[in-house]
Structure 1
Amino acid sequence: MVKTIAVLGGGYAGLRVVKCLTHKKVDARIILINKNKYHYESTQLHEVAVGNKEPSDISFDIRAALPDSVDLIVDAVTSIDRENHRVMLQESDPVEYDYLVNALGFESESFGIKGVAEHSLSFNDIDSALAVRAHIERTLARYATSHDQNDLHILVCGAGFTGIELLGELIERIPEWTRQYSLPEGGITVDCIEAGKKILPMLPENLSSWAVKYLTDHGIKIHSGTPITEVRAGSVLSNDTEFPGNIIIWTTGVQGSHVICDSGYSQKRNRVVVENDLRVKDHPDEFLIGDVAAVPDPDSGRFYPTTAQIAVAQADCAASNLAALLDGRPTSDFHFSSVGTVCSLGPGSGVAAIDELGHWKFKGHKVGLLKRIVNDRSVLELAHVKEMLASR
């Protein structure tokens, strides 16, 4: 009897698994379940959030990118009945599976800080990115009648990768907002509040320092070593220090999908520690990859960070191991070698450390082109040339 493989999530990892499985021509029915009919490049959501890109620029239709042999169900996963091998859906009947690839992605993480959910906005999909944009534009426009300086104060909570790239996009967008809403020159201010003392620690010191200087030279105020203790309506607190502002954007951290907790997995922050071949202990029919997986690095003993680059590599490994299981062959352990890190600081600048064909370091305008190449490559690997060209 033909086996059924259910793949949950149409993000980088989920789509990559499907593409690899179909390329290998595995003898199995493949079902992809995703809550939207489109795939979006989550690494570019910050550009939509400030209005430098539109949703159509970072998304494509999933059905058009899939082979006809793959079944697509557009619905939200509510839980997984692991004992009975069933995926429970919000609107549709349960889906039965023989093998499961869980790649459900991420959600915003508040770390239990008071007021985050009530008084700040985060973005983890297109709808929430558009909500951030609408809030920014509505608040800036209100200044004409409110004359409240806090309507011009933007607070970015967190200087991780997403937060830093968001700051770069804000630099690009602020002059346009100033003209559009007839605001005083230099009236819009941006403060970034970060608990860690080092910014962009994954990059060499000279590149991270250059990025910080670029941002501060363009008016961004970065408050490192400043842990957020509370978010209020109109301000962010770090112990006794208060930062006023009516635009509060939360980029401090992410966790895995709530479906993990709701399905009874042993987890922390909705991430599950997996075996070296990416399967779940005592559940050899389940693979977890991407943001819902805690994958140990055999060299350091620490868990790999949850990045798109690592998620795609995990997808390749999971697909190969699924093909092996269907053929009665042993699985292989996951191994990862980074090709480097590219951090944009708006469309015209950035910093990058590339580890392919040597160790290359870039900063400035060249990184804008490099980022475009990286984005095009990810679309090409997940879909087709047509979708890549359509995203331009």
Structure 2
Amino acid sequence: MAKNQKLNVARRSFIKKSAAMGVAASVAPWIISRDALASSGELKIMNWAGYLPDEVKEQFEKDTGIQVKFTQFGSNQELINKMKATRGRGFDIVGPTSNMMPQWRDLELLKPWDMSRIPTDKILAPMLRTSMEHGGWNDEYHHLPYLWGTEALAWNTEKLSREYKDLSYGDLFSPEVKGFVMGRPHSMMLGVGLYLDSTGVLPSNRMLDAYKDEENMRRIWGEITKYCIERKEWVKQFWADADAQKNGFTQNDVMIAQTWDGPAMQLKSQGKPIQYMAPQEGALTWLDGLAMPVGVRNTDAVYAFIEYLYSAEVGGLLANTTGYNSCAAGGDQFVTDEAKKNFLEAYPEDALERLWWWPAEPSWYAGIRAQYRDKFVAA
């Protein structure tokens, strides 16, 4: 089977598994309405580091005359803290992850989207459905899908050799990588939980039992923390953002790591000896989106930007430049051959069927998880 055909089959399989609904594909050039073109001024966006490449930003500015001021953040908690401090003011668009929306609901810092102004036919239907499920309350919707991606395993191919058939989060603690491992504390611990569940050491229904209630959460995370502390000397460094992930490989002699797909894919595209791949337990999968804070100032510019982002061409450009996956329908038709190859190598065989989607987080969950994370980090 040709590589392009394999990619299309893989994506169709992923979409089928994500939701029992079709995908409305659109490959027509994006068109901004006359009202949107009449908008002017400045659009202030706060989103994840690397999520608004210069090529995407500059083309939007050229076509609309709207100037974009982009501010980066490195974690959902950082974004929440910023919005709490400003009471939802200072930005027109922010980029929360879908599973964090229950916390945003409690904060009351977001305005609902006017869905009549959203080109829903140009959005991958399963992703839109996830956004609406997580970000919908009071019969209104507060989250739109932007980029989806995964956290899985990356390694230096000059120092290690791994194959999909036996790749596991447990590889982070294999003897040959002791002292040269990198990960983000809380998600690295979740990966350990998936590994322990798969081996029968700590049954947890693929970690979903930890989201049921505090009792189950403490039981499961207590054992995970003990396991990780006993193996703390395997860790070379922890990361908190995309740059730290890259630096671990390029400057700190990391051999293997649990990373986001984007930074690893970018290093690979630059010719670095890095491979990224989903393990047998499943890649941790998330959906990052777009939301309007209550203090939005330039609403017309916001909807012009939304209309621009969901064109298939821009979706392909985002995928090519970020290393993540756009939620624009038809965007994969504008992805480079290199990006297609990287995608197939990252998710071989049945990897897309094994994806582990981050569940919606109850408000009590993050605080308890932070306690166990801190114990691991401080050990």
Which has the greater radius of gyration? Answer: 1
What's the TM-score bracket when you normalise by the shorter of the two chains?
Answer: under 0.3
TM-score by length of 2: 0.27
TM-score by length of 1: 0.26
| Higher normalized helix content (fraction of residues) | 2
